[in-house]
């Protein structure tokens, strides 16, 4: 717990704003019907003044409770006509109810935590991950659409790099295909993303992309995605290896 970050009420030491009130009620240190809102809010404002950094989540939560408390206080200060619906309308009633509800939820979440701990030590077939071996990952062959989309995102990224270098080198599709195949034979597979990052120019990257498309079309390589949203890998097809295409 980040106790150092927590707002400490002067009345006692507490963890958080909502917890503070819960604690007060539980311990009956302060009667819920007599919450010294002025004290709490004044102290809290002083505390905020002293701080140069605040935790929005925590302070936001406190603010909500504080606002409710101030609302109650204001209601108490105004002279009120006594009416029969007093109990229903009493804002304190609402606060107490929600606090009790919150206490219950806290109790249940503690219970669930224990159950979770207990259950996490029981292994069931559905929760047991398979013993992982690199070859047995679930592979999904990707569609042309996936490839194209990945390619365009990559190109978008590269556009921003502002390429200044202009090369006079001529590229040919055949050469590029041969280059890819050579690399595949040497390396087992190509990482689609990494490979395109390596291309020196947009032209070369485009050519590489077309080469891969041609290779896929001719069933020489296969593009596979191991997990959704992961990189796409290009593999040499085993059949193609055996028949050795030109």
Partner 1 sequence: MKAQLKELIESLVFVSLEPLSLDKIKEVLEEFPEEEVEDAFLGLVESYSSNQKGIQIIQSAGGYLFSTKPEYDIWIRRLLQIERKNKLSPAALETLAAVAYHQPITQAEISAIRGVDSSHTLRGLLQKRLIKIVGRKKSPGKPLIYRTSEKFLTYFGLNSLKDLPTKEELEKILEEEQTSEEE
109 binds partner 1 (CB under 8 A): yes
- Per-residue burial over 17-38, b = 16 or more CB atoms within 10 Å of its CB, e = otherwise: bbebbbbbbeeeebeeeebebe
33 binds partner 1 (CB under 8 A): no
Residues of span 34-63 touching partner 1 by CB under 8 A: 57, 60-61
Q: Taking the complex as a whole, how short is the minimal distance between the CB of residue 27 and partner 1, in angstroms? A: 7
One residue of 38, 39, 48, 108 binding partner 1 per CB under 8 A? 108
The kind and range of the H/E element at 233 are strand 232-236
Q: What are phi and psi of 83, to 5 degrees?
A: -135, 170
Q: Taking the complex as a whole, how short is the minimal distance between the CB of residue 62 and partner 1, in angstroms? A: 10
- CA distances in angstroms from 178 to 70, 112, 242, listed in the order given: 76, 60, 17
Structure tokens at 188: 């087992």
18 binds partner 1 (CB under 8 A): yes
Stretch that binds partner 1, among 110-118, 143-151, 165-173, 196-204 (CB under 8 A): 110-118
d(CA 178, CA 24): 76
Binding site residues, partner 1, CB under 8 A: 18, 26-28, 57, 60-61, 64-65, 98, 100-109, 111-113, 115-126, 128-129, 131
């Amino acid at each position: 717990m980040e106790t150092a970050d927590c707002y400490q009420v002067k009345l006692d030491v507490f963890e958080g704003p909502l917890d503070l009130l819960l604690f007060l009620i539980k311990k009956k240190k302060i009667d819920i019907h007599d919450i010294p809102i002025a004290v709490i809010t004044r102290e809290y404002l002083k505390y905020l003044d002293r701080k140069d950094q605040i935790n929005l989540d925590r302070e936001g939560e406190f603010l909500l409770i504080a606002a409710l408390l101030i609302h109650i206080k204001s209601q108490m200060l105004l002279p009120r006509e006594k009416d029969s619906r007093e109990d229903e309308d009493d804002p304190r009633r609402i606060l107490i109810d929600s606090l009790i509800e919150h206490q219950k939820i806290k109790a249940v979440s503690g219970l669930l935590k224990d159950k979770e701990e207990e259950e996490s030590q029981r292994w069931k077939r559905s929760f047991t991950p398979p013993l992982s071996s690199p070859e047995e990952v679930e592979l999904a062959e990707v569609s042309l659409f996936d490839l194209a989309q990945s390619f365009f995102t990559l190109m978008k990224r590269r556009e921003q790099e502002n390429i200044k270098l202009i090369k006079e080198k001529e590229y040919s599709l055949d050469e590029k295909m041969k280059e890819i195949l050579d690399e595949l034979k040497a390396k087992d597979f190509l990482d689609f993303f990494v490979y395109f990052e390596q291309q020196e120019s947009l032209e070369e990257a485009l050519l590489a992309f077309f080469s891969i498309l041609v290779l896929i079309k001719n069933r020489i390589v296969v593009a596979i995605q191991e997990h959704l949203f992961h990189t796409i890998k290009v593999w040499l097809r085993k059949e193609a290896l055996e028949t050795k295409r030109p």
